[in-house]
Structure 1
């Protein structure tokens, strides 16, 4: 099963790690803020802890986004949950920290299960992009665990009414192949960075229906969008934070823009919900 272009008359707005321009990335507060802005969906990165829990963390190490240190893959979930995952953002922006009582979940580590719990509770068909990160010491256990989690939420059989519409993304074609082998019903997105050596001819690996293009590549070679369209593929673009880039994506007719600034993108595209 592949993911055909999404049926919409303008690009969907997908919040990259939540509304991460305003709130600490990969926190429930960031995701809730994204929906407050009218985002159509959300994106998250997942990594596997030492005791095989999927957590929403982008970097292999935790120093940038927490007050702890070490590699996600070498730390157990209980240890990771001891750290503060939000104060760094507020301090970075010169904002005084809030008391924990103001938002008890603000600094908590977000697991994939907790995020999916929140999205399923919405009972809406929100686009949910989940990126697996490689390389990692856990290898294919990342995709195996991800499929298990999706099955637990009944999200492994393609898009269905009233449930999040999940797509698994990766820069690794091998990782996507593993997901397809384990759960053929899950639509896939192959991420393509702006690298001169990368052949961008509009084709994708077998069983992948959507490409995720770096906005820098789209700026340099806007015709690349048409190449993927000619092959019947959907086109997502990341990370679209400049208003001019949002306009460009709208003109090119991409399926979705993935942005740290969902409020800006929603306003720019004139989205009504």
Structure 2
């Protein structure tokens, strides 16, 4: 524990120094790995190892500690959900409410903030992130979402800003990509107003541009600062496509969930006609894995759908989510073995990237299988 927090202190000092110097794109980065252009490049010869909210199987999600751990464990990309504060700052956080992953309920000064709002066609009650300023959020501390995961790191890490997240990737000793999500854009645009009249999507893309992110997929500019921008909201992706050359990924939810902005069904957005429309704006899709290979009632795998084949036929990558090591998340076909699950999805289904809560496990699997092939 002492080693982890000493390392985190050094990382946050480096991040603060970068932020104080303005946009990282304005000057070369120098750190443990030397100048940015001298660092080991991102691999593109195998499916991407995408650290879902950092290494959140081990540490509280969306924290600097979770992202630093994911980089140490070999993630190709670190993934973040990006939302907005009451005063218009972008922060890394998944839920619209703070209840499940912070200590907000233990803070008497915020007791009066709890209320009920509509989120994605449903009423939700809690402490909404858009009711807090950045300064207030920084007083909170993160906790583990799941009861069955390690809680010993609860109460240490603050919420981080989008810019702090970016600087964690830029301060790594190798090229590490970022994979931020425009999270709940309809809700953000409804409850947050920016002084310049811009929308959430504009603020999001402007932040990426400030740090030098841009360039089409696999171009030299993209390889220097690899990024995928993702969203469940097709209108946000269309808007973003007019603001940046960075590659975009269309996220696909459960079959029962309609899109938050266009109120379309799963069948609507996975039709060949709609994929033909979206491929003008995105380079890939990010489906929930159970929509690609649905489970049976007895927790076994049913026949795969044709979603991957449809996407690949249109030149779209497929990055499913979320892969987790615990038995409760593994279908019986995998015999409680996460490596068997990775093998099925990479070598059987043929996906192009995987969102995992345990990037070290995916790295080990790919190292083992690469050596075996050699």
TM-score (norm 1): 0.85
**Equivalent residues in 2 for 1:8-87 (5 A)?**
8-68=44-104, 70-86=127-143
| Distance in 1, Cα, partners of 2:147 & 2:341 | 29
| Distance in 1, Cα, partners of 2:235 & 2:165 | 25
| Distance in 1, Cα, partners of 2:153 & 2:98 | 20
Which ranges of structure 2 fall in alignment gaps of 5 or more residues? 1-41, 106-126, 191-197, 257-264, 295-303, 325-329, 331-337
| Distance in 2, Cα, partners of 1:123 & 1:201 | 42
- Is the contact made by 1:120 and 1:163 (CA closer than 8 Å) also made in structure 2? no
The structure that has the greater radius of gyration is 2
Deviation sequence 1:117-153 (CA, Å, 0-9, x none): 1211226432311111123142572211111111110
Deviation sequence 1:85-111 (CA, Å, 0-9, x none): 24x56986465468x9xxxxx412111
Structure with a larger share of its residues in helix = 2
| CA RMSD, 1 decimal | 2.7
Number of aligned pairs? 260
- Partner of residue 3, structure 1: none
Structure 2 residue matching 1:64: 3-state secondary structure = coil
| Distance in 2, Cα, partners of 1:163 & 1:118 | 15
- Partner of residue 323, structure 2: 240
Q: CA deviation at 1:157?
A: 3.5
Deviation sequence 1:35-64 (CA, Å, 0-9, x none): 221111111000011111110000001111
**Cα distance, 1:96–1:186 mapped onto 2, change above 3 Å:** closer
- Is the contact made by 2:83 and 2:188 (CA closer than 8 Å) also made in structure 1? no
Which ranges of structure 1 fall in alignment gaps of 5 or more residues? 1-5, 101-105
- Whether 1:198 aligns to 2:294 is no
Q: CA deviation at 1:201?
A: 3.7
| Distance in 2, Cα, partners of 1:34 & 1:7 | 16
Structure with the greater relative contact order (CA < 8 A, sep ≥ 6): 1 or 2? 1
Q: CA deviation at 1:10?
A: 2.7
**Cα distance, 1:219–1:63 mapped onto 2, change above 3 Å:** same
